[in-house]
Amino acid sequence: MKIVISGATSGFGVSWLRQLDNKQQAEFFVLARNRCRFDALIEREPLKNPVHYVECDLGSLRSIERACDHIKSVTGHIDILINNAGIYPKNELELSPDHIEMAFAVNQLAPYYLTGKLLPLLNNARQARVVNTASFRHKDAKVNTSDIELVSQFNAEHAYCNSKLFIILFTRYLAKLLQHSTISVNCFDPGIVDTPMLKQAFPKSLTLLYPLARRIIARSSFKGAQTGVFLSLATECECTTGQYFKDNKVITTSKKAKDDELASWLWRECERLSGFCYPTLPINKLKNLGNDAPVINRKRPPLGRAI
């Protein structure tokens, strides 16, 4: 089994990687931009399975492309793609190397581009899965369709919440496009997890209360990663796609996360900002997925031309 994972060198992604390593014989490709952090992670507790460092700055489309080219050069298929990397933006507007607002670039555009570039390898697997990390904070999203990056009036919290809404919309849209393939696409809410991002997102006016709040409301990294592990490996997830999970169960999203027109708009924006289109996808024909009803995968026709 070949597993590609981002966001595995910090936060609950570390636990996700280690739980997969303990449960499954696999070969891991870890996307990360910091080689020293990756080396320290492996030296501290070596994995049982082969693991490869793949240099990748998820804020850079060129870096993602190089990482995908490398993966394609060493393997012919991918069984599981995990889009876990994410950031909580700084208070001031920060742009990526491609001049895109950083939270949108890393949290949404990177999964879109990475998944699209690796789609041929996913299609080569007998039964492939894409697992995306979302959040309950998607319910607080405030989307401005005339300014997807919030450049005109930037707000860090809104940028983060919007990106988590976008990843659910992306999950549902992609699942619909791939519904006749053997590639499932799901996302999940890890809950409030005790990670450095939690401290970064905590209101500055309540800093003194953070240690207490952390003990009361935060779950461990192990617990935060468990649903991701479930979606990655559980046999009952093979035929479920386009869903939003928490604690190993499908749960209901916000109304906005079920908005097919918004999902279609987001997809077009991702195409525009990345300059990349998925192969033979019916962009304007998204049907209602039904948030609580799984889409069952069947034997697939070929995806069409390679990316």
Lowest mean pLDDT among 173-182, 197-206, 231-240: 197-206
pLDDT tens profile 163-172: 999 999 999 9
Parallel/antiparallel/unpaired status of strands 183-188 and 128-133: parallel
In the predicted structure, residue 304 carries a pLDDT above the cut 60: no
Locate tokens 């708009």: which residue?
A: 265
The string of DSSP codes covering 211-234 is HHHHHHHPBPHHHHHHHHHHHHH-
pTM score, whole prediction? 0.86
Would you give the DSSP letter of residue 180?
A: T
Q: How many CB atoms lie within 10 A of CB 22?
A: 11
Q: Is 183 helix (H, G, I), strand (E, B) or coil?
A: strand
In whole angstroms, give the CA distance from residue 301 to residue 303: 6
Q: To the nearest 10°, report the CA torsion of 120, 121, 123, 128.
A: -140
Locate tokens 């693991």: which residue?
A: 51
Q: How many CB atoms lie within 10 A of CB 10?
A: 16
* CATH 3.40.190.10 correct for 2-191+222-274: no
pLDDT tens profile 63-94: 999 999 999 999 999 999 999 999 998 889 99
Q: Map out the domains of the chain as residue ranges.
A: 2-191+222-274
Where residue 291 falls among pLDDT bands split at 50, 70, 90? very low
